[in-house]
Structure 1
Amino acid sequence: MKRWRGKGLIAGLSVAMLVGLTAACSGNNEDTAASSSGAASESATSETSAEASAGLKYPASLTYWVPMETDAAVTIKDYNEMGLYKELEKRTGTHVEFQHPPAGEAQTKDQFNLMMATGKLPDAIYTNWASNAPDKAIKDGKIIRLNELIDQYAPNLAQILKDKPNIRKLITTDEGNIYAFPLIGTDPPVYAYNGLMIRKDWLDKLNLAVPTTIDEWEKALMAFRDGDPNGNGKKDEIPYFYRQTDVESSYPFIGAYGIAPGFFQENGTVKYGPTEPAYKDYLTLMNKWYSEGLIDKDYLTSDTKIRDNKVLSDQLGALAGWAGSGLGGYMQLKKDKDPSFKLVGTPFPSLKPGEKAISKGTAVITGLGTAISASVKNPEEIAAWLDYGYGKDGSLLYNFGVEGESYKLVDGKPQYTDLILHNPKNLSVSQALSTYALQTSGGPFASDPEADRQWHSDPEQSEAMAVWADADHSKDLPGSLLSADEQAKFASIMTDLNTYNSEMTNKFIMGQEPLSKFDDYVKTLKQLGIEEAIKLNQGAYDRFTSK
């Protein structure tokens, strides 16, 4: 389970944001400025974990429900075998009985829902609480409000919330409840994990620069189609891999038109991208590209395995994806077989040169976090144990793992060892690191930008993330929560609406419906309740801005 960087479960700040594909707040310089000292900077004014926790008692044992990191599952059976938790048990004396749900997002959600329905809860639960009605869970006696516990028994996190009031704002519901010990990240360049990438070696062969505008992209894709850049004489190249069901590949070009594929805000007014006139312009572009063979004709039946095969067999010129598992993974697999193979990240394209397209923002708080069950008898001890990851010692442990094994100190700074970066068993960096730490996934700690930089160690990855982060995030929706009742209303609207929107978007792109029917399509969206959904999100947005 990856965190916001995205291989697997991707949590959002609100249900609206999950649907709208817009991410967390971007307007507070205090909390989105890059940090050179990593997670330690989150607690720079606090003491070390051992000092801050002096006098606090840790539990002898606890039960902990947490989806297992997919890369970790390659090498370990449960988190008790992870270097982090083996070392944490030595330091705190706490033995953890982990409860890992079956792999797969649907199976994980089903087990979570069953667990909450039956009330048979472990002591601690890690999930996307932002989309699971935390206020209702507190009212129903399933989990506990954490405000007072954090102030009294979690000095490291309490200090972060004091130093960074916007983080407290983001993890506090409209009813004033802090519901989980959150995963925290505050360095924008690090958290722009997803974006467009293109075959730089193909561009070079065709004497083209990396495209930055829609017109330049169209020119490049046409050249990929006609210029035989893979040199096999078959003209079997697919210029761009598009999957409308896949947020990775569907959103990058929409931002050029000043809208998002879902919910966003403009000057304080919440809007829904597909009902905006500019969405017709976007569909017109995609229809043109599809009809001219610049998009895979079989995109509706394509999946990630097909995509990967096309990339690795030199049939695909451009796509959108993740810096680590996508760009980095492809480069790693091809480096020995084809040294000339090169993927690079590209800016989100604009309509005019020099403009910045709007894009998803950078996540500070994603809604992922660990809650404490209301049935526990020692919540203060569990709070103290969960707090460990926010202090200096805990930051090293959660981000880097075990000193002398997964990292070493060089001039006083942690650095991953060759066991992680050049694993002798040929594990990928994320697989090797997941055996020792939670940096590649998530947990109750503050993510260290330096750890993330080292994890995405290839220069192509770091350069791509910097390029992707350099976009206009001014229209992002901040991390407000819909209430339980609002979530129910919203979900009932969006279930059918999303299905209709997806079907019609595909029909417009593939020419099965003429774009002259766009107004009728918008009218149907309104009949399905999009205006009420916008109203719900407007209320949540207004409440957030007034906190």
Structure 2
Amino acid sequence: SFNFTTRRVKIVWEQIRSGWDEKKNTVLASGDVPDVFIGWGITDSDIAAFINVFMPLNSLIESYAPNITRMFNEQPDVKALATAVDGNIYGLPSIIPHRPNSFNIHSINRVWLDELGLDTPTTFDEYYNVLKAFKEQDPNKNNKQDEIPFDWAPERGLFTAMSMIGAYGNYAEDFSGEWTTAKDGKFVFLPVTEDYKKLVSYLHKLYSEGLINQEVFTQDYSQFQAKSKDPDYEIVGSTMGWSLEDRFGPVYAKDYEVLLPLAAEKGIKPIWPAHPPRTKYLTNKAQITTKNKNPEITMKWLDGFYTEEMSALGYYGSLDICVKKEGDKYIVLPPQDGMGADEWKWTNALVDAGLMYVSPELDKRIIAPASITERLEHDALYAPYFPKEEDILPILKFSKDDMDELSIIKTDIFKMVDIKWAQWIIEGNIEAEWDSYLNQLESMGLSRMKEIYQKYYDEYLGK
């Protein structure tokens, strides 16, 4: 913990580095909570489940938060996203700078392709052949078979092979971590689709031949990142991630290129996931608890994060260390200590976990480093493959009762989905077990889950 004083308000910070998800419910149920939460720690589900812990912020914003009020007036969509079904705002949102429309890029080692005389793959079959060559032909030339042809991030997060489900030309995941999407006005749960079954079968083929990292389901995120930044040799051939520099570091990144979406077979136009609201508008970045004896002062303090200067610094880091102000421009300075730009900003700022309002006009006056502009250029390469706007599931808001019911249903369903995702990719047998799997999910409330989602999706569509 550390203290600092600003305008006679003493802030005592407690930083939770790990284990929050495991103890969150106990903390919230106990009532022994801080005056304010900042960051990623609280979700809509938490607020619904422990509604008496969190203070409605509407009147506080109106009376004590001119910067947040300006954001809501200029960007009404973000106010709508921050507003619960009961009409109250319990968590403050943020609008962050320099955002692509897609979270994930698929990358491949260009140097290895050239070394082996291979063309960039465009289909699943071509990708299989490239990965096989990466495994067997020692492209990093160290006389060891240490190459990891394909790797992705652990768990059901952003940077997984689920992004490849668009190879069949039908669906794109929505980056919610719940593997949901929309198609023709209907809610779709991807793990029960035929495309999912086909994708898992393909991934099992890769895994069974050693073309996927054999630790893909047991590694943590830091191990995932470390493999692509091995200090001695490049060992990862193809992977998923936020950006080339983030995945490979400033030294290796130049050897990789973006791999455009693969088609399951020739003749299919693949889809690559995109979700503009989810990448730029972030909700629940701060909550004031009912334990707080000075909510007015707290709201004034929180509103200070939404000034123009604090928004720029909140994303990239401190003035004159990470950001230099020149006139009305904020120039992001080069990273230090041998870090890449992404690692440097995460070391010095709250980044996506922070409070800020970067308007479209301010976004243009924050001069980003080359790695950020490169990421936006890569996003433009994917743009022709983005789903139609009507096939992007919006961020839905649920009533407390429906959210409580969904929470119970999804706990069981996702436990089963996560187990089978890993098991089928490692061991195979998805075809033989598919009907039993669907029946088990149905017994856990799959139809009811889909019904609840569809109800709120229909309301969003105005049906």
Q: TM-score, normalised by structure 1?
A: 0.71
- SS of the residue 2:394 aligns to: coil
Q: Is the 8 A contact 1:238 1:296 kept in 2?
A: yes
One of 223, 230, 239 as aligned partner of 1:319: 239
One of 238, 256, 264 as aligned partner of 1:343: 256
- In 2: Cα distance, 1:181 partner to 1:356 partner: 36
- SS of the residue 1:415 aligns to: strand
- SS of the residue 1:225 aligns to: helix
Please state how far the C-alpha of 1:117 moved relative to its aligned partner.
1.7
One of 401, 410, 414 as aligned partner of 1:498: 414
What's the CA shift string for 1:135-188, capped at 9, x where partnerless? 5544x2x22212222223222221221222211111111111111221223754
Please state how far the C-alpha of 1:428 moved relative to its aligned partner.
5.4
- In 2: Cα distance, 1:125 partner to 1:458 partner: 29
Please state how far the C-alpha of 1:459 moved relative to its aligned partner.
6.6
One of 269, 286, 295 as aligned partner of 1:355: 269
1:484 counterpart = 2:397: no
- SS of the residue 2:62 aligns to: helix
Pairs aligned (count): 444
- In 2: Cα distance, 1:186 partner to 1:534 partner: 34
One of 30, 37, 42 as aligned partner of 1:125: 37
One of 507, 510, 513 as aligned partner of 2:426: 510
- In 1: Cα distance, 2:346 partner to 2:107 partner: 26
- SS of the residue 2:368 aligns to: helix
One of 533, 536, 540 as aligned partner of 2:449: 533
Q: Which moved more, 1:364-373 or 1:236-245?
A: 236-245
Give me the identity figure in percent: 25
Are residues 460 and 237 of structure 1, via their aligned partners in 2, closer, same or farther at CA, if it must alter by over 3 Å? farther
RMSD: 3.3
Specify the code of the residue in structure 2 equivalent to 1:276. Answer: T
Specify the code of the residue in structure 2 equivalent to 1:472. Answer: F
One of 161, 173, 176 as aligned partner of 2:87: 176
Q: Is the 8 A contact 2:2 2:12 kept in 1?
A: no
Match of 1:290 in 2: 207
Q: Which moved more, 1:276-285 or 1:219-228?
A: 219-228
1:149 counterpart = 2:69: no
One of 95, 100, 108 as aligned partner of 2:10: 95
Unaligned runs of 5+ in 2: none
Are residues 402 and 156 of structure 1, via their aligned partners in 2, closer, same or farther at CA, if it must alter by over 3 Å? same
Q: Which moved more, 1:343-352 or 1:177-186?
A: 343-352
Q: Is the 8 A contact 1:348 1:471 kept in 2?
A: yes
Match of 1:457 in 2: 371
Which structure 2 residues correspond to residues 230-249 of structure 1 after superposition, within 5 A?
230-242=140-152, 245-247=155-157, 248-249=159-160
Are residues 484 and 451 of structure 1, via their aligned partners in 2, closer, same or farther at CA, if it must alter by over 3 Å? farther
Higher relative contact order (CA 8 A, sep 6+): 1
- SS of the residue 1:359 aligns to: coil
Match of 1:273 in 2: 190
Match of 2:107 in 1: 197
Specify the code of the residue in structure 2 equivalent to 1:113. Answer: N
Are residues 371 and 546 of structure 1, via their aligned partners in 2, closer, same or farther at CA, if it must alter by over 3 Å? farther
Are residues 401 and 501 of structure 1, via their aligned partners in 2, closer, same or farther at CA, if it must alter by over 3 Å? closer
One of 113, 116, 132 as aligned partner of 2:28: 116
Please state how far the C-alpha of 1:201 moved relative to its aligned partner.
0.8
- SS of the residue 2:241 aligns to: strand
Specify the code of the residue in structure 2 equivalent to 1:123. Answer: D
- In 2: Cα distance, 1:372 partner to 1:220 partner: 52
Please state how far the C-alpha of 1:327 moved relative to its aligned partner.
3.5
- In 2: Cα distance, 1:301 partner to 1:135 partner: 32
Are residues 451 and 249 of structure 1, via their aligned partners in 2, closer, same or farther at CA, if it must alter by over 3 Å? farther
Are residues 119 and 509 of structure 1, via their aligned partners in 2, closer, same or farther at CA, if it must alter by over 3 Å? closer
What's the CA shift string for 1:66-115, capped at 9, x where partnerless? xxxxxxxxxxx6474xxxxx7xx2xx4533222323x21xx223454333
- In 2: Cα distance, 1:454 partner to 1:290 partner: 39
One of 151, 158, 167 as aligned partner of 1:256: 167
1:217 counterpart = 2:127: yes
- SS of the residue 2:271 aligns to: coil
- In 2: Cα distance, 1:376 partner to 1:235 partner: 58
Q: Which moved more, 1:399-408 or 1:493-502?
A: 399-408
- SS of the residue 2:117 aligns to: coil
Are residues 393 and 318 of structure 1, via their aligned partners in 2, closer, same or farther at CA, if it must alter by over 3 Å? closer
- In 2: Cα distance, 1:386 partner to 1:300 partner: 39
- In 1: Cα distance, 2:267 partner to 2:367 partner: 30
Are residues 244 and 301 of structure 1, via their aligned partners in 2, closer, same or farther at CA, if it must alter by over 3 Å? closer
Q: Is the 8 A contact 1:346 1:468 kept in 2?
A: no
Match of 2:305 in 1: 389
Please state how far the C-alpha of 1:270 moved relative to its aligned partner.
0.8
- SS of the residue 1:253 aligns to: helix
- In 2: Cα distance, 1:79 partner to 1:193 partner: 35
Are residues 315 and 136 of structure 1, via their aligned partners in 2, closer, same or farther at CA, if it must alter by over 3 Å? closer
Match of 1:47 in 2: none
- SS of the residue 2:414 aligns to: helix
Specify the code of the residue in structure 2 equivalent to 1:382. Answer: T
Specify the code of the residue in structure 1 equivalent to 2:193. Answer: E
Q: Is the 8 A contact 1:346 1:467 kept in 2?
A: no
Q: Is the 8 A contact 2:102 2:273 kept in 1?
A: no
Are residues 456 and 113 of structure 1, via their aligned partners in 2, closer, same or farther at CA, if it must alter by over 3 Å? farther
Are residues 399 and 303 of structure 1, via their aligned partners in 2, closer, same or farther at CA, if it must alter by over 3 Å? closer
Specify the code of the residue in structure 1 equivalent to 2:208. Answer: S
Are residues 544 and 495 of structure 1, via their aligned partners in 2, closer, same or farther at CA, if it must alter by over 3 Å? same
- SS of the residue 2:181 aligns to: strand
Q: Is the 8 A contact 1:198 1:346 kept in 2?
A: yes
1:328 counterpart = 2:239: no
Are residues 348 and 173 of structure 1, via their aligned partners in 2, closer, same or farther at CA, if it must alter by over 3 Å? farther
Are residues 382 and 455 of structure 1, via their aligned partners in 2, closer, same or farther at CA, if it must alter by over 3 Å? farther
Please state how far the C-alpha of 1:343 moved relative to its aligned partner.
2.1
Q: TM-score, normalised by structure 2?
A: 0.82
Unaligned runs of 5+ in 1: 1-76, 81-85, 336-340
Which structure 2 residues correspond to residues 73-84 of structure 1 after superposition, within 5 A?
78=2, 80=4
Q: Which moved more, 1:263-272 or 1:251-260?
A: 251-260
- In 2: Cα distance, 1:152 partner to 1:354 partner: 55
Are residues 532 and 433 of structure 1, via their aligned partners in 2, closer, same or farther at CA, if it must alter by over 3 Å? same
What's the CA shift string for 1:371-418, capped at 9, x where partnerless? 12224344333222222222324334424555444322346411133x
Are residues 377 and 300 of structure 1, via their aligned partners in 2, closer, same or farther at CA, if it must alter by over 3 Å? closer
